[in-house]
Amino acid sequence: MSRLLNPEPTRDCPLCPRLVAYRQENIRQNPDWWNGPAPSFGDPNARLLIAGLAPGRMGANRTGRPFTGDHAGWLLFDTLRKTGFAQGSYDPDGHDDLTLVDCMITNAVRCAPPQNKPTGDEENTCRPFLIDRLAALPRLKVIVTLGDVSRRSILRTLGYPGTAIPAGHGVEGKAGAYTIINSYHCSRLNTNTGRLTPEMFEEIFHRAKAALKE
């Protein structure tokens, strides 16, 4: 008998004490924010999954939608629209008609961590949701990982060691039935320093498109 999948934590997920304490502090300071695990966003029949790190405090933790209101969201949603994986307008408060096309966005850790840095324990505690997120996408074929934590987390989620596909922007490999394409994270640090340019990022999604056709 197949087990019931549980791809999304509850709004009041109690599993990580440090993240719960941070959430409670955010609720106290900003009661009108989302302040909970940011649910995965996109097409439930997607063939492409994009895996980020964790919600930013004033972005996805505020709006309740991955990357929405985070600095990284501008480049991500712009690039997804250019490459045909998104349509509609994007508003950093989430008051928009943005939809993802054949694509879903999730995070390795679903709650905002202090200083944007989840611990290894938090990654491990959140992993069952990622395992079920992948399992709940019946047509999933390609996974774009944003940053190194995401790359390792996706590989472990699929039962591989974190070294199975090496780090590096544009490095691509197979993990079981899935094609994994690594990208540098579209964070402010990477875009402001020129480590990741819009062209480099767009190229990743052209590659994802090509891999979907294989």
Binding region for ligand URA (CB under 6 A) = 38, 52-56, 59-60, 66-67, 70, 72, 107, 146
CB of 36 to ligand URA, least distance (A): 13
Q: How far is the CB of 208 from ligand URA (least distance, A)?
A: 17
Residues 6+ apart with CB under 8 A from 180: 142, 143, 145, 151, 154, 155, 165, 172, 173, 174
CB of 101 to ligand URA, least distance (A): 19
- Based on CB atoms, which residue is closest to ligand URA, 57 or 141? 57
How distant, in Å, are the alpha carbons of 57, 85, 105, 197 from that of 213? 37, 14, 20, 25
Rg (CA), the chain: 16
- If the CB atoms of residues 67 and 184 are measured against ligand URA, the closer one turns out to be 67
**Nearer Cβ to ligand URA, position 58 or 171?**
58
Nearest to ligand URA of 67, 140 (CB atom): 67
Give min distance, CB of 177 to ligand URA, in A.
25
Residue closest to ligand URA, measured at CB: 52
Closest contact distance (angstroms) between CB of 133 and ligand URA is: 14
Between 72 and 165, CB nearer to ligand URA: 72
